[in-house]
A and B are shown apart, each in its own frame.
Chain A
Amino acid sequence: KAGVTQTPRYLIKTRGQQVTLSCSPISGHRSVSWYQQTPGQGLQFLFEYFSETQRNKGNFPGRFSGRQFSNSRSEMNVSTLELGDSALYLCASSLEGLNEKLFFGSGTQLSVL
């Protein structure tokens, strides 16, 4: 079974641009979560989607948004990029269940110049 796939692997953008990152969960997983990882702030929860609905959101500005499609694939979008948005963005998928664990992708490394 294929793991969580995130594309692209690396991305370079300039300030003010917008970016879209993609995540394909493990087959059968309907929950997709996004995390931002930076050296300064560590790992921080962005949001979680389940059945095309955002179920939970972390403490990030409205420039960060996401969506989930009917096939459970998810995208996250960051508009008006700032230098501080440079980070590794990790996607995780899981089954729906009390004890189900998160499976993480390898991430998208975003650099904002």
Chain B
Amino acid sequence: AQSVTQPDIHITVSEGASLELRCNYSYGATPYLFWYVQSPGQGLQLLLKYFSGDTLVQGIKGFEAEFKRSQSSFNLRKPSVHWSDAAEYFCAVGAAGLLVSGSARQLTFGSGTQLTVLP
């Protein structure tokens, strides 16, 4: 079974500083990887996804993530954080091998990282 670990429950950064949120996954085959963001009282918004190809993925709002198979990691980065980035961030893995049956919609999420941005 797949699993996702986000080791940092809470991260605090100053506005303008760089950001890296860690994500490690466990899956026996090629994973499909996602980063979602959730603001209070809201649903999840997709920041970026990795299916195949280039291991450095660009997303919305200036975020990027790098897939490192050797480290089973998919860390999210942003060079300069804005106050509006304060939210909870979730890494998720989908089972690529089950795509034919549509089970790519069955995502396994990490426990989330709460980001606080200081002025």
- A interface residues, Cβ below 8 angstroms from B: 4, 31, 33, 42-45, 48, 50, 55-56, 58, 90, 92, 94, 96, 98-99, 101-107
Contacts and interface: CB of A to CB of B under 8 A. Distances in A.
Contacts of B110: 42
A101 B101 contact: no
A102 B106 contact: no
B89 interface: no
Contact of B105 (A92, A105, A107): A92
Nearest to A107: B43
Interface residues of B, number: 25
A106 B106 CA distance: 18
Nearest to A32: B105
Given A42-B112, A102-B46, A55 B51 contact: no
B107 A102 contact: yes
Interface in B63-112: 90, 92, 99, 101-112
Interface of B: 34, 36, 41-46, 49, 51, 90, 92, 99, 101-112
A48 B103 contact: yes
